[in-house]
Structure 1
Amino acid sequence: MLEDVHVAHAAPCHPEALSLAAANDRSLDVPGLIELILTRFHETHRREFPEAIRLARKVEAVHAAEAECPRGLADHLAFMADDLEGHQQREELVLFPMMLRGGSPMIGMPIGRMMAEHRDVEDQLARLRALTHDHAAPPGACHTWQALVRACRKLDVDLTEHMRLENEVLFQHFLD
């Protein structure tokens, strides 16, 4: 799975090359972009979603009686994490290996599916922002609630950049 994609290309990427700046100025090749996406985004999402879910469950339990309580946030985050895991698996097992082999005449179909799933994630992020009042904790919020808001804001920023990098940079190598 993830390990297979990491080792699929012959030339290892240097850590200094794995930067968003390099990706944005298009100086990274396809293997470098994929490695960046795997390490900067896929691994990060897998690490950070469980903590955000834990924080949301705690805030919802402790502050259930408060009007500002983000009711349903833990379930929404769990849904997002599950949906994202399936998406990332499809990239890691199908799309990225295909890209590392130089593409295919049929590559437009999996890219189209990934882009459609990205639009679904945009809708999920809009719901996340609504549940967290645009990532703002109420005045006097406890440390856990503040940490939850920070975690949700980071997930939003990271997912948005992740999708932009794939849609506007990586996928364009195969759609142009």
Structure 2
Amino acid sequence: MQDDATPATPEETGALIDHILTNYHAMHRADLASLVPLAERVEQVHADDPEAPGGLARALTTLAHEMEDHMAKEEMILFPAMRAGGGAGIEHPIAAMRADHDDHAESIALIRKLTGDLTPPEHACGSWRSLYGGTATLLNELADHIALENDVLFPRFEPAA
């Protein structure tokens, strides 16, 4: 369901790719660039708290590296091929991107485990709450991004089963 804050999903493939680049790739990069140092700070300040999300900064950094590699492959290889109309062999990079999407699930599961499913404890400070809220937003946007590629964009270039 589309909410008023989300731009309409374009029908045309080039416009859809532009939408993904602007609304997802750029946003994920910005979100992760702010969340990793925030996680480091929360972990450091609350190191003695057993409910602190120890290891979260490392997990977010791992996800950031996975996503950066994945987005770079899309931006440099897959999306230009799609803009050019696809062609023979495009199913191979699409299959690799789908596999990357599946791999992201492991990092996401670890992040959810480390954070009690992004639920801060009652005594959490503002930074801690902001970290969990920002991480929840990132994970929700990432799920939308993956669904848009897997369910809308990629099938346009895959042979019908």
> Normalising to structure 1: TM-score of the pair?
0.85
Runs ≥4 in structure 1, deviation > 2 angstroms?
none
The counterpart of 1:88, out of the listed 63, 67, 71, is 71
The structural deviation recorded for 1:104 is 1.3
Aligned to 2:20: 37
- 1:62-83 deviation line (CA, Å, top 9, x unaligned): 1111111111000111111111
2:85 aligned residue = 102
Q: Distance in 2 between matches of 1:139 and 1:69?
A: 12
Contact 2:62 2:107 in 1 (8 A): no
In the aligned structure 1, how far is the partner of 2:82 from the partner of 2:21? 14
Letter of the 1:159 counterpart = L
Alpha-carbon distance, 1:40 to partner: 0.2
Note the C-alpha offset of 1:131.
1.1
Cα RMSD of the aligned pairs, angstroms, is 1.1
1:122 aligns with 2:84: no
- Residue 123 of structure 1 aligns to which amino acid in structure 2? E
Partner of 2:129: 146
What residue identity is the alignment partner of 2:89?
A: M
CA–CA distance in 1 between the matches of 2:124 and 2:52?
10
* TM superposition shift of 1:124: 1.2
Structure 1 unaligned segments of length 5 or more: list them: 1-17
The separation in 2 between residues aligned to 1:62 and 1:136, in whole angstroms, is 18
TM-score (norm 2): 0.92
1:122 CA displacement: 1.4
Number of the residue aligned with 2:41? 58
Determine the C-alpha separation between the residues in 2 that align with 1:161 and 1:126: 16
Structure 1 position 50, deviation (Å) = 1.4
Q: Give, as a single letter, the amino acid of the residue that structure 2 aligns with 1:97.
A: P
Match of 2:115 among 119, 124, 132: 132
Q: Shift of the alpha carbon at 1:38?
A: 0.1
Residue 173 (str. 1) matches residue 150 (str. 2): no
2-structure distance, mates of 1:135, 1:152: 8
